[in-house]
Amino acid sequence: MTASILPEDMMELNGISPDLNFTRAKQSSLCLLCRSAKLLCGKPSCPILIKARVFTRIRERIDSPEIVGSSPPSAFVGRFGYPKVSFGPMVPPVEGDTSIYDTPERWMNFTFEKVIEYRSLLIRGNQRLHVQEARDPHGLLEKLQVSMLSSKPVSSELVLNKAPYPVLTVNEEAPPFGPSALLLKYDFQPSSGDRRLERAYYDTDLKAAEAVVRLYEDGLPVSRIQKAFSVGMFGMEKNRKMVPTRWSITAVDSNLSLKLLQDVKGYPTLDQYMVFEYNHLNNRYIVMLIPASYSFEWIEAWFPNTVWNVGGSSPELMGDYEPFRGRTTYAAPGGCYYSVRLATAEYLACRRRQATVLALREIYPGYLIPLGVWTVREAIRAAMNARPVVFDDFEAAFRHVLSRFQIGRAYWVHASTIIKQMLHQRKITDYG
């Protein structure tokens, strides 16, 4: 058998067994010619060898249906079959301080292999339950919620229906995670609770959106808020329900950014053009802040031979835009849009200024697999913490941006609403 690595959507939607190995014929031929020695695919390292090394480590540690270890704490809620979804704890076969296994805010200096290694060891025990089911026959959801209150990793034991088969599940929103199997039993030893989470959890009159904002203002990492939100720990008692992990990540990023922007839109505008840049895991991020009323645009360019542009011959660009009054539809690029909006709103709120925000990303072939929107949120945060390059006019700032990117001017102009506005739309001050 061959250990698999497949997007979550393909596995859940099509019921694909992780025992099967899917390989494109042309890619297989290329790999056969290369055998990792020449890197003919254009990537800086061989994805197949990385996966092989990771799966070897998984096999060495997982040979039983009983998993004993320290949960970060962590949980996952699926979305297929909604409103009856699969959910359960995630526990690595590792004891001690495993908090870093599920804290994306601490991963910025990690290589692909390190992220995949940590995440592949998170084993998920699954049960199915209606997202708002009052009757939880095995008490799993309540146990899960109590474990998520812990301020430290919790000693845990999973009893599964079989030894989990090595597999790494990936999607664009959530970080990858490892094998899963039907959960027969879950026990844990509670540790000291996080007072901030406990207050929100036990306050059954506090609305979920208000709990999210309060925890953020109290300094709880966004990733922890997202996990607690996912397992239904917030909101009015009668309205509490689980939220699929993918949706919870976007919901928290969106709600927090909207709260920050309520204040940002009342601040004075910047008086200069500012360009920020950051490179991370074969992605280049650039944010331009334009001295004008708030609006926001995010565009990502996937190069040929990247995850979502495997057979293309030229870069594929996708983006979306919102004016000062905001948007009412879901953004085309998905969760990344909201994670970038949050990171840039944090910067503006901290400096008590507003600006038009143009955020751009080039994704190169070395970006081996999707690692989740945390990569974008944390990379943009890092960019905004760097020293910006400052300009007095848009054309000079835009030329600088183009000098840092590989894609030419025409691509970005065609894809961007804000760039077209800046190049072609006259302002009232032009008539002074």
The per-residue pLDDT for range 168-205, each reduced to its tens digit, is 787 788 998 888 999 999 999 988 999 999 999 999 99
Is the confidence at residue 249, as pLDDT, over 50? Answer: yes
CA distance 82 to 85: 5
Closest CA to 91 of 148, 19, 142: 148
> Does the pLDDT at position 24 exceed 70?
no
Of 189, 213, 229, the position where a domain reaches its end is 189
- 242 with 370, same domain: the answer is no
Rama region for 252: left / alpha / beta (φ>0; ψ in -120 to 50; rest): alpha
pTM here is 0.88
Same domain assignment for residues 256 and 274: no
Host domain of residue 364: 266-431
Q: How confident is the model at residue 43 (pLDDT cuts 50, 70, 90)?
A: low
Q: State whether 394 and 294 are in the same domain.
A: yes
Pairing, β 316-322 against β 295-302:
antiparallel
Same-domain pairing of 291 and 235: no
Confidence of residue 3 (pLDDT cuts 50, 70, 90): very low
Q: Alpha-carbon torsion 219, 222, 223, 226, what sign?
A: positive
Residue 223's pLDDT is 97
- Counting the structural domains of the chain, the total is 3
Q: What is the pLDDT of residue 89?
A: 97
What dihedral do alpha carbons 220, 222, 227, 231 form, nearest 10°?
80
* Mean per-residue pLDDT, 319-323: 98
Question: Are 229 and 339 in a shared domain?
Answer: no
Q: Give the mean model confidence (pLDDT) for residues 102-130.
A: 92
291 in the same domain as 253: no
Q: Is 285 found in the same domain as 158?
A: no
Highest mean pLDDT among 15-19, 22-26, 184-188: 184-188
Cα–Cα distances in Å, from 109 out to 41, 200, 214? 25, 32, 29
Task: Place 368 in a pLDDT band, splitting at 50, 70 and 90.
Answer: confident
340-355 confidence digits (pLDDT tens): 999 999 999 999 999 9
At 215, which amino acid appears? L
pLDDT at 6 > cutoff 80: no
Residue 163 and residue 222 in one domain: no
367 and 308 in a common domain: yes
Write out the two tokens for 19.
């025992």
Whether the CB-CB separation of 419 and 412 falls below 8 Å is answered with yes
Q: Domain check: are 249 and 168 in the same one?
A: no
Same domain, 162 and 295: no
Last residue of one domain, picked from the residues 163, 189, 215: 189
Choose the final residue of a domain: 158, 189, 220: 189
What is the separation, in whole angstroms, between the first and last Cα of the chain? 73
For residues 182 and 127, the answer to whether their CB atoms sit within 8 Å is yes
72 and 12 fall within a common domain: yes
